[in-house]
Amino acid sequence: MFADDRFRGYQPASLRKDFISGITVGIVAIPLGMAFAMASGVKPEYGIYTTIIAGFIVSLLGGSRFQIAGPTGAFIPILLAIVLQYGYEDLLIAGLMAGVLLVLMSFFKLGNLVHFIPRSVTIGFTTGIAVIIFSGQLGNFFGLQLDSHEYFHQNMIEFVSGLGDFNGYSVLTAAMGLLVILLVPRFFPRVPVLLVGLVIPTICATLLFPEQVETVGTAYGGIPQSLPEFQFPNITWEKIVTLFTPALIIAALGAIESLLSAVVADGMTGDRHRSNRELFGQGVANIAAPLFGGIPATGAIARTATNIKSGAVSPLSGMIHSVFVLLTLLLFAPYASYIPLAAMAPLLMQVAWNMSGLQSFKQILQLRTGDSIVLSVTFLLTVFVNLTVAVQVGLLLAILSFVKKKSEQLQIVDRDVQRQETLDLTAHFQIKRFTIRGPLFFGTAQSFEHSLMASIQRMPRVILLDMQHITMIDATGEDKLSIIIDNIKKAGSTVLVSGLPDWGVDLFKKSGLYQKIGASSFFPDEAAARESFFRKHEIKVSGEGELLIRKQETAE
């Protein structure tokens, strides 16, 4: 289906760079995969399975040279909501359906459409997701036994109610992890901080206060030392209908996240990804991962950036990263049981902080425009309702804001070209000229009609529409213009059109409006239109401005 040029110029020395970067990203991906899975309401090993399977397939089939795929924080609220409402088995079905949708998006070449999603919407729901992730780890940070609820306010009420029963050992463990995450990059920038941020608190908790904090082993029963067997989910038509909306949201968010990650990679390397091929790779990965118990995956911006900074040359680094995670699972899985959940909390909190985009959020908010409203509404709905509603409402508000901005661009300039010094012209051949600037579409069609007709106090002999500055015409605008011309003709007036761009002429020919107005009524510019009209009626204006009428219309 695709010609692969991502290994162009590959040399033996490149293998060493890919190997080092793959190992580096693998070290980062292991704790993140586990943490994202647990935050999504499923067992930590499912995040590892996703990292292995989806990571390898996206690197093999995707459209970016450097993309690293796996579980991401953006999916957490969606996956948790699906698990709470439908259960883990149905999450696998929704993920598989999302993979099919992504493949279909690639075949229909919809990759570029993702770039039309307004920044105010993406920043709004991304910041909202960050708030949900951060707040969702407060219970683990303080060692509280909390139930997960569907809505943010329910979780916050339960957290505040149970805060009095906090576990001091959990707070100490989480504080150690947080200090490591904050301080290690400053003094040891090359050290894999996320892994160290888990290992040090785990060792301290195990040696200093064993069995005083909840761990991966006590909460989830440990991590199996192998991949699960292939198992096809029990898909029924009823489940397809029920899970279609969640699957669509997973596919849409996965497409957005993966393509944004690919764009970031392009900016860091000067490379250029293929959007539709990337969607294809993501789709196949999300079809395959659920067959082995994996959760939905997408391109991970932080891991992709780490891959590039570590010296990656080709997609082979992503494949090596997946193999490394697999070997780690097979060799060291039992040791993961000792990791305290409190040590996971600061890791996810840092992820939430990094993805929040607070600077961009403040910047858009300070604009005090329609984008600020879209941002705020999307953010609040993401936090207090759900991501599905937030994206739908955010896009709707963005469209309405766009229509409003476009409607304000339409200008109708009334330029009466009657020569006041020539009374014969006023009496016999009244001409009114209107210059139309901007877009004529469904958002401006009604105001266009009102403005034009309101400018005509008394129907003149000729109405000249100068349309050289019109920027677009849609079906609604064309229909409204057709109705106006019908009314003008019924009043006995003539319509002349000047300067209409070629695309406008083609549109009018297809709709029939060109024939309705008449081919002889279209002119390249205003001067040609007036000259043709005067010649037709045998009117001559002398050099001194004196009008000479050689033909009187006695029929009137």
Choose among 494, 482, 480: nearest CA to 432. Answer: 494
Q: How many CB atoms lie within 10 A of CB 123?
A: 24
pTM summary value = 0.79
Q: If residue 220 lies in a helix (H) or strand (E), which one and from where to where? A: helix 216-220
CATH number at residue 541: 3.30.750.24
d(C-alpha 488, C-alpha 482), whole Å: 10
Q: Do 191 and 63 belong together in one domain?
A: yes
Q: Does residue 54 have a pLDDT over 70?
A: yes
Q: Are residues 192 and 260 in the same domain?
A: yes
Same domain, 388 and 444: no
The 10s digit of each residue's pLDDT in 149-199 is 878 999 899 999 989 889 999 999 999 999 999 999 898 888 888 889 999
Q: How many CB atoms are closer than 10 A to CB 186?
A: 8
pLDDT of 544 > 50? The answer is no
5 in a domain, yes or no? no
Q: What is the mean pLDDT of residues 115-137?
A: 89
Residue type, 414: D
User: Cα(443)–Cα(439) distance, rounded to whole angstroms?
Assistant: 9
Is 534 in the same domain as 504?
yes
Average pLDDT, the chain: 87
Q: For the segment 212-231, what is each residue's pLDDT rounded down to a tens digit?
A: 999 999 988 888 888 888 88
Tokens of 528: 């040609």
pLDDT-wise least confident of 298-302, 404-408, 417-421, 464-468: 417-421
Asked if 515 and 368 sit in the same domain, the reply is: no
- Which of 375, 397, 419 is the last residue before a domain boundary? 397
More confident residue, 422 or 240: 240
Of the candidate ranges 70-74, 517-521, 537-541, the one whose mean pLDDT is the lowest: 537-541
Asked if residue 277 belongs to a domain, the reply is yes
Q: Rounded mean pLDDT of 348-362?
A: 89
Domain membership of residue 152 (yes or no) is yes
Q: What is the pLDDT of residues 468-478, one digit of tens each?
A: 999 999 999 99
Q: Do residues 376 and 456 both lie within one domain?
A: no
Same domain assignment for residues 286 and 333: yes
Among 329, 364, 397, the domain boundary falls at: 397
Flag whether pLDDT at 415 surpasses 80.
Answer: no
Which helix or strand (DSSP H or E) is residue 69 part of? Answer: strand 69-70
pLDDT at 555 over 60: no
Same domain, 179 and 126: yes
Is residue 405 one of the residues assigned to a domain?
no
Residue predicted with more confidence, 529 or 299: 299
Angstrom distances, CA of residue 268 to CA of 59, 63, 272, 297, 318 = 18, 16, 10, 22, 17
Question: Could you tell me if 256 and 342 lie in one domain?
Answer: yes
The answer as to whether 307 is a domain residue is yes
Residue 406 lies in a domain: no
Q: Kindly state whether residue 7 falls inside one of the protein's structural domains.
A: no
3-state DSSP assignment of residue 416: strand
Same domain (yes/no): 378, 426: no
| Domain coverage including residue 461 | 411-549
Claim to verify: residue 339 and residue 436 sit in the same structural domain: no
- The CA distance from 246 to 98, in Å, is 8
pLDDT at 423: 39
Average pLDDT of the segment spanning 369-391? 91
Instruction: Kindly state whether residues 209 and 150 are assigned to the same domain.
Output: yes
Q: Among candidates 257, 246, 516, which has minimal Cα distance to 387?
A: 246
Number of domains in the chain: 2
In the three-class reduction of DSSP (H, G, I as helix; E, B as strand; rest coil), residue 295 is classed as: coil
Provide mean pLDDT across the span 287-316. Answer: 92
Nearest one of 414, 64, 416, 94 to 253, comparing CA atoms: 94
Contact between 399 and 373 (Cβ < 8 Å): no
Which two structure tokens, joined as six digits, stand for 298? 């997408």
pLDDT single digits (tens) 9-45: 778 888 889 999 999 999 989 999 999 999 999 999 9
In the predicted structure, residue 384 carries a pLDDT above the cut 80: yes
195 or 105, higher pLDDT: 105
CB 429 within 8 A of CB 540: no
Q: Give me the pLDDT at residue 429, please.
A: 58
Classify residue 3: in a domain, yes or no.
no
